Structure 1
């Protein structure tokens, strides 16, 4: 495949719900520099972030018009003459924050998010800097690999990103719901020899969580005080070592009840809303003697570490049974917004 001058791409040109998504059949591609890599995108997976960008609710830097999508997997078509990590034919995944290579996230890295600040993945061909790509696990299909960029990497960062508190065998991990981050956290924690306590809202989802490796599942609808229940399930009732906090203000009070002294609550999302009556304050972290940590996905180095673990443990990402085509992008957005999915929603190109 020769390098084209333009590509078919979805763009967001206004915050008009999902009607702001428009198909551009001739989106210009930049010139390929010495350190650039041309990728034929094969699959793109969606995140909650993509939905709220389209709805104009995203709180981080972004530019319009923009090609949406951060998660993608594909095949290298061509590489600049100074590229050393990739060659034509290699299978790759996109790095969310293109400038987050290793170590703590920086302001520069925060401003380099695909599908928000800069053009993302929902296009048939894209040009990325060499440092903005990661080799895909050889054990995964492009559809599976397309899910890794944000959700699994965020889960990996939550469990391993704080070196002094990194997950170890025998730890107890509490996950919330069945979103992409939580499902990946269940898989990673179980593979590491940790005990997993998961929350969900239905018996069917509870069964699927146990199939993925969860040891205990609590229904948060029938057990609204699930924080105390989770703590009671831990050795000596001491509490959980890691909480994967995706609910935000709506669930933080229960997470504080569940966590052990010197445990870690990693705040990843705000599915439960940004503010609730009696939302815990910073002083609650003090009285619970816990670390409350906010993260934004993870670095390229963490991505590479995660991919090695995926291959070593034969982990397969959870993909929803409905796969959408490129021209069905709006339908995919609506499908996820309506919460019809279990696992990652993928658009196949």
Structure 2
């Protein structure tokens, strides 16, 4: 039977090629869009794994306001808080903030840097220390984007309003350390001393958010609620709440990316159905002769669905190879600009090949049923 399936598909080279190409395009879309979804999933998950603290934000939201250092002191006095410190976050280049955020400057107390970065290690240089001036520890993607080594300088921009006009100021920061790759937000960070960042951006005494370290054994959910009740104009999010919000956003991203890919794959499936319907129509007498010679319905079904499944597998392999190559070169291109957007995982490859096979089989099931249900006499009289 298998040799018959292979021979039948090989005899119709052009039609088979066009059908396989249609499926390959659909699976290519599944790989690319699925690779983007996988990247965001892994990236968000690993970022949240590095966060074990409560995050305190302005009540109006991260981008809607700022906190002052007096609020940091108030948070520290809440029962159950063992430590709290503020961080200032700004885009590296305020004139070109991309849709995916891009690189960002984090001003943080040097003595809190290891606690902030949790288990993240250095691949070169050192961490910030108290007394550092215009010094920076950079993430792996930042180092790759700007081809930085320890001792190199990185230009940072800030925008200021003077007499109604926007003026951009720049300052070079010396790189003293480079972080390992984490596939998290830390790959895009430029860590600088908090007091230096506040002076450079001319917002002394303010921070973007506060990290809160709970006492051992303290319930983070309860503590975040106590912080909100104790300190005005803020909202506090526990690590569990941060994860829940991120997962909700990830569901939306996944629905958008995967639905568009599935639509493309279904179009490829329709081309399989069209090809198989034409094939069944052309081979009606052949199937009638086979049934007259003793072939059963299951034999006809096996041959027809087998041909559709074979084209699905072949299209899936080509689509996976093409999608994988596109993702590789696209990531290489994007990495030189400080970002990565795709990840190929074994799960994605397995889903793609199974989807291609199933798509081929389902698309070939209707033609297969039509072929199998014909009586031998009816098929032999077919013109």
Structure 1 or 2, whichever has the larger Rg, is 2
Do Structure 1 and Structure 2 share a fold, with TM-score over 0.5?
no
TM-score by length of 2: 0.20
TM-score by length of 1: 0.21
Structure number having the greater helix percentage:
2
Structure number having the greater strand percentage:
1
Q: Relative contact order, CA 8 A, sep 6+: which one is greater?
A: 2
